[in-house]
């Protein structure tokens, strides 16, 4: 055998035996990514519990991609009566296991900007439940929230 053939065989053997490095796990599981409709919310403050039906008089969606989240909330009367409201915000997030932290970079309620909010999230089928604390002293807000979302189909 000549030297070229031996070198070629050695290279082919090394390539065939090469171990592939494990692929890095995505930061965000595919089941969290999507557009979510907020259907209900619970706020617990100093032992008092408030339930909100987000299907009545308002609509809120949360959009989550691989690195960012955004939320949009508005009244269903197009701002034409006392229920007029519009709230939106977004930013980056981190996710480690079921621990989800939103870093709110943009918000029309400016006292909420530059805050981080820690939540525990669970996703089962097309339901997302997010539970954690909102603490914004500048807005007089400190309460635990439990929000339930359903996935919107494309």
pLDDT in tens, the chain (154 residues): 565 555 445 455 544 544 444 443 344 456 899 999 999 999 999 889 989 887 788 999 999 999 999 999 999 988 888 888 999 999 999 999 999 999 999 999 999 999 999 999 999 999 999 999 999 999 999 999 999 999 999 8
Report the alpha-carbon distance of residue 83 to residue 87 in Å, rounded: 13
Show Cβ contacts of residue 72 under 8 Å, excluding neighbours closer than 6 positions. 60, 61, 63, 87, 88
Q: Are 99 and 118 in contact (CB under 8 A)?
A: yes
Report the alpha-carbon distance of residue 76 to residue 15 in Å, rounded: 62
Report the alpha-carbon distance of residue 99 to residue 119 in Å, rounded: 6
Structure confidence at residue 66 (pLDDT): 94
Structure confidence at residue 24 (pLDDT): 37
Domains of the chain, first to last: 27-151 (2.40.128.490)
Structure confidence at residue 9 (pLDDT): 54
Structure confidence at residue 41 (pLDDT): 93
DSSP 97-120: TTEEEEEEEEESSGGGTTEEEEEE
| pTM, entire model | 0.77
Structure confidence at residue 2 (pLDDT): 60
Q: Are 13 and 5 in contact (CB under 8 A)?
A: no
């Amino acid at each position: 055998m000549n030297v070229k053939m031996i070198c070629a065989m050695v290279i082919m053997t090394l390539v065939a035996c090469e171990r592939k490095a494990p692929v890095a796990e995505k930061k965000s599981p595919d089941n969290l990514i999507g557009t979510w409709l907020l259907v209900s919310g619970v706020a617990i403050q100093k032992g008092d519990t408030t339930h909100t039906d987000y299907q009545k008089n308002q609509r809120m969606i949360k959009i989550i991609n691989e690195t960012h989240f955004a939320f949009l909330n508005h009244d269903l009367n197009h701002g034409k009566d006392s229920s007029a409201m519009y709230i939106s915000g977004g930013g980056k997030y981190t996710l480690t296991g079921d621990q989800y932290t939103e870093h709110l970079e943009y918000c029309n309620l400016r006292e909420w900007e530059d805050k981080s909010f820690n939540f525990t999230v669970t996703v089962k089928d097309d339901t997302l439940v997010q539970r954690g604390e909102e603490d914004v002293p500048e807005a007089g807000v400190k309460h635990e929230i439990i929000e339930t979302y359903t996935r919107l189909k494309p």
